[in-house]
Structure 1
């Protein structure tokens, strides 16, 4: 059996990290697993929980634990983890999320082994939230079919916990040219799209992992300063892929900054408003599209 690498990134997740790790421990199939855990200098007891939990790892799992003495930030921590990967395949679980299907890795392993023309597969994920309206709802609706790069970019479809990919994609041109900035936001989207250079991408209808949605999450709530980083990500993606993806990226940047500009002016955040105005002027070609949509 080929080795599977699993990356778990953690920061201030003492309440959740043990469940994330044990979701990997319970996987059936007896694959050789390289479990890479990178804690980004958590100020709470995350490190203590990790140290205790990795003491009883199953025999088929080799744990590579890195506890950073200084906080790197989410993106540099991710880049660091990717450099530790030595497996044929790669999967992920954020420190506050978890896998609950013990056959997850086996199902995805079997698919990629049986379909060498595919580079990645992903599946349905359930939301876990204190909000009863969100709790136990699907993260997105994934069907048993192929997904295009444009679909993955335009729609928030692929959750980190669901990804299973060939690690050869880490060496392709898209990764080398787009995963370059240390302050990128939603850096995982770039990685998922990059797999399209190595093969097709498949969605699986099974629901096998959980996404915790809470206030400390990276994507929680409205944050117009964070939106500037999102614009930077979209710019890099649009520049690399071009064509329809570039058109979509330009529109998303324009729309996001238009909304942010209005809100920042109302809130008296004039410096932040100016930064968004600069993005709007860069994408001013979308103004005509916006006006036509508004009239309709």
Structure 2
């Protein structure tokens, strides 16, 4: 695994000297963070280390962190004031029910949006350049993603893997987004045209996670996939989604229920086949069946049958064997 962390140049001039096109902001890097002082430096350094011909900005949204995250952001802003745009909230917006990703994007100016959460980072200094150029070669495609390394809380290679794909540049059909049980692509791999945020559909503000729904909106004409691993995803880091939700039964239950509701809203508001929506929902139904098995077997059976109705998959056999035998 090549997890070498990128190092930021010492000045703005060293970054902007690569910029050949400066008439507008071509890419806005969106970083959302909360209480990630142990990780945020790696993320910011990897943004600043990008070598591209196109002018970019870095919008860092801190949701009123209570640790040292804000001070770290402020120090970087002092050094790179024309590149970094800090959004430092005085009150936690997530706890108020606001959609942080949408809020952060509202401060951006770029033609394209590149995402990276505060506990992840990029490991290729040409990432932005490669993705922007690839999208320019495929003008009808709105979303570009790539592969990523995955590490655990000990900075060791994780057993978790993103979907295995052919090691070649390709356009993945839109329908494939709905077929994945887990995450279709790493959040830190996503570069999407800003037009999908203007405006965002109402349902987006009530979704339990934003990345999947950005993928289905941005991937309507297919998803441009680059095989190289250009980012690092920390799984199980303090404050991460995998810790907050996957390891909390009540939150995981709520997540699955909200996903089902959100998918129903997608079916109503976007021109997407109901069969695709159902293929994604079956994973949430089976997740609920698994959760309810120990505390309410009737509810468990109900969700198991709903998942079967939405389409058969290998996980059904695994569930049956684990629970019955």
TM-score range, shorter chain: 0.7 to 0.9
Q: Is 2:171 aligned against 1:162?
A: no
Whole-angstrom distance in 2 between the partners of 1:138 and 1:260 = 23
Counterpart position of 2:87 = 66
Asked whether the 8 Å contact 2:33–2:63 carries over to 1, the reply is yes
Change (3 A) 1:132 1:43: closer
- RMSD of equivalent CA atoms: 3.0
TM-score w.r.t. length of structure 2: 0.76
Which residues of structure 2 form unaligned runs of 5+?
A: 1-20
TM-score when scaled to structure 1? Answer: 0.83
Name the structure 2 match of 1:192. 215
**For the structure 1 residues 82 and 93, does the alpha-carbon distance in structure 2 shift closer, same or farther, using more than 3 Å as the test?**
same
Match of 1:9 among 12, 32, 46: 32
Q: 1:200 to 1:151 in 2, by over 3 A?
A: closer
The CA distance in 1 between the partners of 2:156 and 2:234, in whole Å, is 14
Residue 64 (structure 1) shift: 1.6
In structure 1, what is the equivalent of residue 279 of structure 2? 248
Work out the CA distance in 2 between the residues paired with 1:104 and 1:142: 19
Counterpart in 1 of 2:227? 205
C-alpha separation in 2, matches of 1:83 and 1:253: 30
1:248 Cα deviation after fit: 1.4
- Cα distance between partner residues in 2 of 1:185 and 1:259: 19
Which of the pair is proportionally richer in helix?
1
Structure 1 gaps of 5+ residues are 266-272
Whole-Å Cα distance in 1 between the matches of residues 204 and 304 of structure 2? Answer: 23
Matched, 1:103 2:103: no
Deviation at 1:284, TM superposition (A): 5.0
Report how far residue 132 of structure 1 moved.
7.7
Rate the CA distance shift 1:254–1:188 in 2: closer, same or farther, 3 A: same
Establish whether residue 233 from structure 1 lines up as the match of residue 264 from structure 2. Answer: no
State yes or no: 1:150 paired with 2:172.
Answer: no
CA distance in 2, matches of 1:33, 1:126: 24
User: 2:145 aligned with 1:114, yes or no?
Assistant: no
Give how far 1:91 is off: 0.1
Q: 1:287 to 1:201 in 2, by over 3 A?
A: closer
Q: Distance in 2 between matches of 1:133 and 1:84?
A: 35
Is this contact kept in 1: 2:289–2:303, CA < 8 A? no
- Helix, strand or coil for the counterpart of 2:201? helix
Alpha-carbon contact 2:256-2:285 (below 8 Å) kept? no
Say which of 77, 94, 97 aligns to 2:117.
Answer: 94
**2:31/2:60 contact within 8 Å kept:** yes
Task: Report the Cα distance in structure 2 between the residues aligned to 1:189 and 1:12, rounded to whole angstroms.
Answer: 24
Answering whether residue 239 of structure 2 is matched by residue 214 of structure 1, we say no
1:141 to 157, 164, 171: 164
Cα distance in 2 for partners of 1:192, 1:255 equals 22
Shift of 1:244: 2.2
Shift of 1:242: 3.7
